[in-house]
Copies of this chain bind each other. A is one copy, B any other.
Amino acid sequence: MKVLIVYAHPEPKSFNAALKDTAIQTLKQEGHKVKVSDLYEMNFNPVAQKEDFTELSDKAFFKYAKEQQHSYQNDTLNPVIKEEFEKLLWADFVIFQFPLWWFSVPAILKGWFDKVLLFSGVYGGEYGRYNEARLTDKLAMISTTTGSPEGSYASNGFSGDIHEQILFHINHGMFYFTGMTPLEPFVAYTVSHSEEDRKNYLKEFEEKLKNIEQIKRIEYPKLEAFDENGQLKS
């Protein structure tokens, strides 16, 4: 399997870095091919802006999706973004390793989604959305760390339900929107509090990645299940 790890943490000695290193080592041992996008090391610029394109189709009105389409069709995408896009197309499985900041991804990783998930390159244009988008041959998985304890992320917890309320905008809105099948996230809760917890989580992560086929897939309804108003047919 070809695996891309998109990694976002500013500290190389962090637990997120340890999870990323565990993933690289485990996946390689299992015979997978691995590429890594270390966004902090790359000094990745997350701001969607005119400089993301080497030419603009409309200099008078900057519409990001339109310029993504133009640059995709004319091969005028900024080389840094193009390389990320090509890594994404290469991969069978994409792992996003990041600390949960404000119940979402760090800004540097949000910019990766804003910039690399190209309109007309992965959805729109000749492609549709969700199960009609381009990346239906790929799996995607969140691997993240939290500040609040596990109980608070359960249904009726004070943080909100980790799956239905918090990570939905990523699993459904980013992964599934582009066609990818989301795998059940790997969440390490409040790891900064205990060395033993950290060891156990690394071991658990390793075991998980040795058995990718057994990781639960998150199933969302296909587009054909919805009526012309965008509502589930009853």
Contact = CB atoms under 8 A, between A and B. Distances in A.
Contacts of A166: 168-169, 173
B151 A48 contact: no
A223 B50 contact: no
A158 interface: yes
A73 interface: no
Interface of A: 10-11, 13-14, 40, 45-50, 61-65, 101-108, 110-111, 113-114, 117, 130, 147-149, 151-154, 156-160, 164-166, 168-169, 172-174, 177, 221, 223, 226, 229-232
Report copies per complex. 2
A203 to B, nearest CB: 23
Given A102-B117, A104-B169, 9 more contacts: A10-B50, A11-B63, A48-B108, A103-B177, A107-B108, A107-B111, A149-B229, A158-B230, A160-B173
Given A168-B166, A172-B165, A104 B102 contact: no
A229 B156 CA distance: 11
Contact of A47 (B107, B130, B153): B107
The 8 tightest CB contacts between A and B, nearest first, are: A103-B173, A152-B230, A107-B111, A46-B107, A151-B229, A151-B230, A103-B169, A107-B110
